[in-house]
Structure 1
Amino acid sequence: MKLVCSQIELNTALQLVSRAVATRPSHPVLANVLLTADAGTGKLSLTGFDLNLGIQTSLSASIESSGAITVPSKLFGEIISKLSSESSITLSTDDSSEQVNLKSKSGNYQVRAMSADDFPDLPMVENGAFLKVNANSFAVSLKSTLFASSTDEAKQILTGVNLCFEGNSLKSAATDGHRLAVLDLQNVIASETNPEINNLSEKLEVTLPSRSLRELERFLSGCKSDSEISCFYDQGQFVFISSGQIITTRTLDGNYPNYNQLIPDQFSNQLVLDKKYFIAALERIAVLAEQHNNVVKISTNKELQILNISADAQDLGSGSESIPIKYDSEDIQIAFNSRYLLEGLKIIETNTILLKFNAPTTPAIFTPNDETNFVYLVMPVQIRS
């Protein structure tokens, strides 16, 4: 294998695929990146794959001879990143294919390599379901829910986001057992009547690992707003393809909780809040709340139409703030984890938000004050007298 390529493009590609390289590989080759040069297409393909998440991308190169080899992701990436961006890189392998030779304006390097034959094939879906989804809408669905997924591996199904594709809609949901974020978007999936871009005859529901979806979200953020991403699903494997890049991930096993049952049908109390004021007050109060248990108390004053927000950090100090609200029910006090509140509120894009609840011990709902279909449920913290 011998080729010449841009240092900048190679470095960018390596940074992308290295996020799918195993940090604790079960086999030495899984710590490597697969390089595949194709003289016919003039493309150098790079692949990282830890057996759960796979990322593949390609770049244009002047290829003298085709071939494939794997190189240590960390070492190879660090060398490439420090080479001069003012000159191209010549990459070649010796006859034994046990090392990769690099030549640039900065100097010459040799890196030990491993055979491409040892690298596992990136899973591809040949049958099963396929559909095309608007990239921008998909990115919004992930941004609105990923933050609420669990980091507790003991609750593996909750470490992912539940995605439900049906008709032309996408409903995404994530929960860690203490909070729940749900977004229901319409007109996300390309025409359901065109079998060339959508073969779904009924709804498709899958739960995908948050780690994989964060990489997808990062990729989608760079896509044009009107672009589409192709999705393929079969036998526990989900593949996303767009603009020459491939992200493949395993699905999470198990049944996702029926989260719709957690959302109350009716509420006896409703507040209208200014999001900017509420977040600013919470961030100041959270400085104290974080010193103890992250708990902030909020209490209504119907007569003055204000909301009091307070925190007590035991021996360290306490604080309180007040913001204007619209409220016409009985006064009530309720407590929340300040971090949970801030993470969810920052997702909402409207200037005003609604807070709905029934009692200090039952689920509370935050929603935008418009017709959008985003719901953020937070379980209150029980206040001990």
Structure 2
Amino acid sequence: MKIICSQSELKNNLSLVSRAVPGRPTHPILANVLLVADSEKNTVTLTGFDLSLGMRTSFAAEVEQEGNITIPAKLFNDIVTRLPEGEITISFDPDDLDDNPLVAIESMYGKFQLRGVSGEEFPELPTVEKEEALMLPVTSLSEGLKGSLFAASNDEAKQVLTGIHLTRNLDTLEFAATDGHRLAVVKTTDEKEASEDGDGNSEDNTDDISISEEQNFTMTIPARALRELEKILTLAKEEDNVALYVDDGQVVFELGLQNLTSRKLDGAYPNYNQLIPTAFDRTMVVERKRLIESLERVSVLLDQKNNMVKFSIDADNGQLFLSVEANELGNAKESISAEITGDNFEIGFNIRYLMDGLKALSSNDITFHFNGPIQPVIVTPLSGLQMTYLIMPVKL
């Protein structure tokens, strides 16, 4: 095998698939990246796989001799990242395949050799029968993931809660995530906005995506896989669509030459809609950015033992007072103007959970919906993205 490619192209694509390479592989071959060179298409394809998450990407290269090989991902990535921009040549002697050949990586400044392993030993990515792709707009996916991923559980013992529950009902995509302490629900639309041409006629500059009831779905996908998808989406154009293929156990997302494969999570996701209150005793509208800045300042006095911020709501004067008490360090207090309906009262929050939700909201002004001091609190944006953030208070 012999290929000549751009250092920047190789670096970017290698960095992408390396995120699917496990830190502690259950089999040595999984610590490697699979490289396949196709002389007919003049492309190089890279694959990383940990038996749960798989990532594959292709890019153009000059393929003088096709072949395939697996190369230790970390070393390969470390070397390519440090090489100068320009052409890189990667090659090995196919006669050495049985003896784990030395793969040569050459640039204008020198040459590295890494011990490779035959690509035949690399496990195949799970396949999904590709009857018809479900087309999802990049903007809808990006908005939904930003507003939900932070709320998924990191506790593997909670299994299904480590995923994002994704539902499509005709033109609506709904994303839900909870770790038992907070819940984020985002609804986005698949509909494309039409624009007007110079004659005032409405025209749609994007491909029309007609959605039937047969294309509705509901499933839970590991948050880890969707965090990688979110990174892929940052490279896409707003008007792009992601092709989604689904079967009983797997999902495949495709965007151009990039492909992400993930297992689905088993188990019934909680009926989260039942957890969201629909009636409230009090509401408070505040400026989101101002609240975040105040929380960041008072949080300087917090530590792992004490991470609570107290809200004292003064409806009479239209003020929200934030306070933190740290017995061994001191205390902090700030006030913010707010539009308040209902009586005065006090409530406490885990400041990290509160900040996570505020940063995911996109609107300038947000509304807090309260009942009692130990009842779930709902935070919603005043405009823009349709998002509901439920957070459980901390007992004062």
- Within the candidate set 210, 229, 246, 2:242 is matched to 229
Q: Secondary structure at the match of 1:26?
A: coil
C-alpha distance in 2, partners of 1:129/1:344?
A: 36
Q: How does the TM-score come out when normalised to structure 2?
A: 0.92
C-alpha distance in 1, partners of 2:294/2:105?
A: 55
Q: Aligned-pair distance for 1:166?
A: 1.6
Q: Which amino acid aligns with 2:356?
A: E
C-alpha distance in 2, partners of 1:301/1:288?
A: 24
Q: How does the TM-score come out when normalised to structure 1?
A: 0.94
Q: Aligned-pair distance for 1:183?
A: 0.4
Q: Secondary structure at the match of 2:114?
A: strand
Q: Aligned-pair distance for 1:302?
A: 1.7
C-alpha distance in 2, partners of 1:294/1:116?
A: 50
1:268-311 deviation digits (Å, cap 9, x = unpaired): 11111111221111111111133642100001112211011101
C-alpha distance in 1, partners of 2:41/2:238?
A: 28
- Within the candidate set 123, 127, 134, 1:124 is matched to 127
- Within the candidate set 338, 346, 368, 2:351 is matched to 338
Mapped pair 1:216 → 2:214: no
C-alpha distance in 1, partners of 2:304/2:182?
A: 22
1:199-241 deviation digits (Å, cap 9, x = unpaired): 7515311111111101000000111001101000002100001
Q: Secondary structure at the match of 1:230?
A: strand
Residue 368 of structure 1: aligned partner: 381
Q: Aligned-pair distance for 1:188?
A: 5.2
Contact 1:302 1:330 (C-alpha < 8 Å) held by counterparts: yes
5 Å-filtered alignment, 1:65-76, equals: 65-76=65-76
Mapped pair 1:247 → 2:260: yes
Residue 21 of structure 1: aligned partner: 21
Mapped pair 1:102 → 2:115: no
Mapped pair 1:309 → 2:322: yes
Q: Which runs of 5+ in 1 are unaligned?
A: none
Residue 165 of structure 1: aligned partner: 168
C-alpha distance in 1, partners of 2:6/2:225?
A: 28
- Is the alpha carbon distance of 1:129 and 1:261 closer, same or farther for their aligned partners in structure 2, counting shifts above 3 Å? farther
% same residue: 43
Contact 2:134 2:215 (C-alpha < 8 Å) held by counterparts: no
Relative to structure 2, which stretch is displaced further, 127-136 or 55-64? 127-136
Contact 1:90 1:104 (C-alpha < 8 Å) held by counterparts: no
Contact 1:131 1:200 (C-alpha < 8 Å) held by counterparts: no
1:142-179 deviation digits (Å, cap 9, x = unpaired): 01100011111110111111100120110001011000
C-alpha distance in 1, partners of 2:279/2:338?
A: 21
Contact 1:142 1:213 (C-alpha < 8 Å) held by counterparts: yes
- Is the alpha carbon distance of 1:164 and 1:204 closer, same or farther for their aligned partners in structure 2, counting shifts above 3 Å? same
Contact 1:133 1:188 (C-alpha < 8 Å) held by counterparts: no
Contact 1:128 1:233 (C-alpha < 8 Å) held by counterparts: no
Residue 332 of structure 2: aligned partner: 319
- Is the alpha carbon distance of 1:199 and 1:94 closer, same or farther for their aligned partners in structure 2, counting shifts above 3 Å? farther
Mapped pair 1:58 → 2:61: no
- Is the alpha carbon distance of 1:59 and 1:371 closer, same or farther for their aligned partners in structure 2, counting shifts above 3 Å? closer
5 Å-filtered alignment, 1:194-205, equals: 201=214, 203-205=216-218
C-alpha distance in 2, partners of 1:342/1:123?
A: 38
Q: Secondary structure at the match of 2:111?
A: strand
Q: Aligned-pair distance for 1:127?
A: 4.7
5 Å-filtered alignment, 1:175-194, equals: 175-187=178-190, 193=210
Residue 42 of structure 2: aligned partner: 42
5 Å-filtered alignment, 1:278-293, equals: 278-290=291-303, 292-293=305-306
C-alpha distance in 1, partners of 2:290/2:87?
A: 52
Contact 2:147 2:360 (C-alpha < 8 Å) held by counterparts: yes
5 Å-filtered alignment, 1:249-288, equals: 249-288=262-301
C-alpha distance in 1, partners of 2:178/2:131?
A: 28
1:105-157 deviation digits (Å, cap 9, x = unpaired): 12122211111111111122115663001012101100110001111111011
C-alpha distance in 1, partners of 2:23/2:90?
A: 28
Q: Which amino acid aligns with 2:112?
A: Y
Q: Which amino acid aligns with 1:160?
A: G
Q: Aligned-pair distance for 1:83?
A: 2.1
Q: Which amino acid aligns with 1:321?
A: E
C-alpha distance in 2, partners of 1:333/1:165?
A: 39
Contact 1:136 1:223 (C-alpha < 8 Å) held by counterparts: no
Aligned length: 379
| Deviating 4+ runs (over 6 angstroms) | none
C-alpha distance in 2, partners of 1:329/1:66?
A: 72
- Is the alpha carbon distance of 1:130 and 1:87 closer, same or farther for their aligned partners in structure 2, counting shifts above 3 Å? closer
